[in-house]
Amino acid sequence: MALRRALVCPLDEGKYLAPLSTLGVGGRCECFAEPWVLADVATLFRIRALEGFPIYILGGGTNVVFADGEIEGTVLSTRRLNACRWNVGETHGELDAEAGYSLPLASAVAGREGLGGAEFAQGIPGTLGGAVAGNAGAGGKSAGELLHEVTTVEENGEIRRWRRGEFSYSYRFFSLSSSPRFIAACKLSFERKPLEDIWRDEAAFRQVRMGQPRGVRSAGCTFKNPPGDSAGRLLDACGCKGLSVGSAVVSGAHANFLVNKGGATGSDVFRLMGICRDIVFEKTGICLEPEIKFMGFPK
């Protein structure tokens, strides 16, 4: 295989994907790559541009649902692209990090150094690349507010750097994610903040998450909040708590979380989300948009 010969990292075939996601569903992928150098990512995208196979980007696996059976194409894991450099000054600090760097770790280090802005990430699992790509956030704060620069691998394999002003963000949206490119690295900027204020804000964000299900297999929030409302509130009000398809169940603790009770499939999750979305639409006229990403499903 040309792809195997071109990459520095190993290329696995037929790798099971369910263990790589927090929801724990899905089949095998045709190819799986976990590079530790950006050059491999660029090579992968250049070859894809010529051969046309799909590429699926996997960060921490916290908001993805893999299809059952074999998924055609290549799953690209960012786990080993996790290099970082902190630069902490008297009035501000910066973090240069690759896509696979841990988001909770970034929040913890910033707080410890007296750098404010990442308190919202308390309790949000996953990687920095995934957080940027989906503009993860909580309580009105998000990753996009911290972004100073972003490095991407473009669809043709070109490596490009974007500076603030060349990209935009809004609720669960990042403009550079609208094209099939790879968010490879980013630079975050932080301002100095009293430690007492950071601890207070971290505690407040942790409190917000207290009502979310814990100790279960879940992919995080199922749907995005519609303007001026809460997806969880709508799902709860429409009687979706406890609904199930196979072993996929709408959590009784928080209606915007689907959990795998054991043995759920990707199809179970897909069907249950469709049922919940239809119920909410029929009762309220609001069509909920998935926050979970589907990999390997027919378009």
**Annotated catalytic residue 221:** yes
Q: How far apart are CA 66 and CA 264, in angstroms?
A: 11
Tally of residues, the chain: 299
> Which conformational region is residue 133 in: left (phi greater than 0), alpha (psi within -120 to 50 degrees), or beta?
alpha
Catalytic, out of 94, 98, 202, 291: 291
For 190, the 3-state DSSP assignment is: strand
Catalytic, out of 9, 31, 221, 240: 221
**Annotated catalytic residue 217:** no
Contacts of 11 (CB under 8 A, 6+ apart): 1, 3, 4, 31, 32, 33, 74
Q: Which tokens go with 1?
A: 């295989």
Helix ranges (H only) for 52-152 are: 103-112, 128-133
Look at residues 66, 128, 35 and name the one whose alpha carbon lies nearest to residue 294: 66
Q: Which residues of 156-195 are buried (b: 16+ CB within 10 A; e: fewer)?
A: ebebeebeeeebebeeeebebbeeebbbbbbbbbbeebee
Q: How far apart are CA 19 and CA 41, in angstroms?
A: 23
Stated as kind and residue range, the H or E segment containing 174 is strand 173-174
**Annotated catalytic residue 172:** yes
Helix, strand, coil distribution of the chain in percent, nearest 5:
30, 30, 40
Catalytic, out of 46, 79, 80, 172: 172
CA atoms within 13 A of residue 107's CA, in its CB half-sphere: 27
CA torsion through residues 173, 128, 156, 1, sign: negative
Which residues form the catalytic set? Answer: 172, 221, 291
